[in-house]
Amino acid sequence: MRLPQADADSASNMRSTATGWRRLSVGVVGGGIGGLAASIALRRAGHEVTIYERHDFAGEVGASISCAANGTRWLHEWKVDIAKGDPVVLRKLINRDWKTGEPVSVYDLAGYEERWGYVYYMFHRQYMHAMLKDCAMQEEGEGTPVKLLVNHQDINLETGLITFANGKTAQHDLIVGADGIGSAVRGIIGLKPEKKPADSSCLHANVRTEDAVRLGLVDYSQHSALEYWGGQDNSWDKIVLSPCNGGSLLSYYCFFPREKGDFTNHTWGGTDRPVEELLAPYPELDKQVRAHLAIGQEIRPWRLWVHQPYPYLVRNMVCLLGDAGHPMMPHQSQGACMAIEDAAALGILFRPDYFDGNVAEALQAYQEIRLPRVTKVQAASAKAAVNINERIGFSSNTNIPKYKVASEKDKLTIEEMNGYDMYKDVEEVLAKRRGKPFMQPYIRGLPIGLKLSNGTVVGQQPSAEVKL
């Protein structure tokens, strides 16, 4: 069954143009994937948006980005030119035996678009960033083009005043903190992260498909799949392969126990690590993928920290988005999608048919909508670090011999992620806050009667156990 698309046409009869709507001046702090997504969503909602970077804007660095249907749907709604991102459409998720490379668990994405309405994309981070930046700042398209300024110095929470190094100031009605895992805005609103280094480390490497093919190695690009080696038996050893740039580039994330290499004090960039360091933790790894790693380029550490969930995302006229508000481990491949969903929530809450001019109410609704969902994904991402069966998709393959999860009832399911209608969630939350009835057959964005792969049927148990 194909679920209805979560776009403007799916709105219920309860929606009408809100009285008191006004055009806001919005400051978005941080010009990464999340900040650009927020600027596009708020531009489309009719607001005037400025992005602020602390330093000269140099764009994104890094590797591949996974964008499942729950993220892709918003790229379509915002009319992003997705072809500019040169993505790969994923066809499968494949978990392979560590030593032999034989498939252990395969989640086929045939019928994925038919069921969920959108495909599963894999982007190169820099291409996705350029794609979103073009969409935000171009003259074409609905709304006023987004502006970009650099070298801001301070933010006043009470007044929405942003001060620059040269003493100039800018005033905003709404400020979105999208400044990443090391967020300065997070500290400004009083949040102090409780975090610790992860028990695993990660090196990332890129392999050009043409180089692998020239050496007679397996052409993994032909699989159009997210492929995993290991991740079973509570082991930190895991290789994740993501094809991007139309399949011309293979992006490898290589995890291993932290005692074999501690990169908690490193960041992206700087000098590449030697290939010998990349290969050292994996003497028994499948020979084919190990041969790929042996020709890896741009080998760089990715420091991993486990953050406890934050108690709030909002203070006064300021809200957090993406890694600034809910940094998570990468093992559900949902970090970018959660940032895109955050942006979508802001875009909906501040559009003319929902926003009544009360910024504080809209931001409290944003927190109520987003915090439970991102907190559950954070927890599920940590679980999937040593158990690939906890990963969305593989968590549906309950009939394979090695299938085991910590709690069948509590596992994260693909239905919760892709069957979620944010418009319905917004309507339910706003109806409650405004003392109005909500009569739609949904519970917190999930359609009543939707069967999850953990056996739960939405609406047949207390909503607190099924909502995201």
Which pLDDT band holds residue 264 (cuts at 50, 70, 90)?
low
For 397-438, give the DSSP string: -TTSTT---S-TTTS--HHHHHS--HHHHHHHHHHHHTT---
Cα–Cα distance for residue pair 330/101, rounded to 1 Å: 22
Summarize the confidence of residues 108-120 as an average pLDDT. 96
pTM for the whole thing? Answer: 0.92
Q: What is the pLDDT of residues 168-181, one digit of tens each?
A: 788 899 999 999 99
Among the residue ranges 95-109, 116-130, 386-400, 421-435, the one predicted with the least confidence is 386-400
Could you write out the DSSP letters of every residue in 5-46?
A: P-SGGG--TT--PPTT--PPEEEEE--SHHHHHHHHHHHHTT
pLDDT at 376: 96
List alpha helices for 138-286, DSSP H. Answer: 184-188, 209-214, 275-279
What DSSP line would sit under 90-120, residue for residue? P-EEEEE-TTT--EEEEEE-TTHHHHHSS--
Q: Label residues 290-313 b or e (16+ Cβ within 10 Å = b).
A: bbbbebbeebbbbbbebbebbeeb
Question: How high is the pLDDT of residue 56?
Answer: 53
Of 222-231, 241-250, 339-348, 402-411, the least confident: 402-411
HSE-CB of 305 using CA atoms within 13 angstroms:
16
Per-chain mean pLDDT for the chain: 90
- 221 neighbors 209 (Cβ within 8 angstroms): yes
How many of the other CB atoms lie within 10 Å of CB of 193?
15
Q: Coil, strand, or helix at residue 246?
A: helix
d(CA 360, CA 318): 9
191 or 6, higher pLDDT: 191
CA distances from 117 to 3, 237, 378 (A): 7, 34, 25
Count the helices and strands in the chain (H runs, E runs): 12, 23
pLDDT of 263 higher than 90: no
What mean pLDDT do residues 223-235 have? 90
Task: Determine which helix (DSSP H) or strand (DSSP E) holds 53, and give its type and residue range.
Answer: strand 48-53
- Where do the domains of the chain lie, and which CATH numbers do they carry? 8-89+118-192+309-465 (3.50.50.60), 196-306 (3.30.9.30)
Report the 10 Å Cβ neighbour count for 426. 24
Q: What is the pLDDT of residues 11-53, one digit of tens each?
A: 443 445 567 889 999 999 999 999 999 999 999 999 999 999 8
Cα(404)–Cα(395) distance, rounded to whole angstroms? 9
Distances 416 to 230, 393, 457, 468 between C-alpha atoms, Å = 26, 11, 11, 7
pLDDT value at residue 304? 87
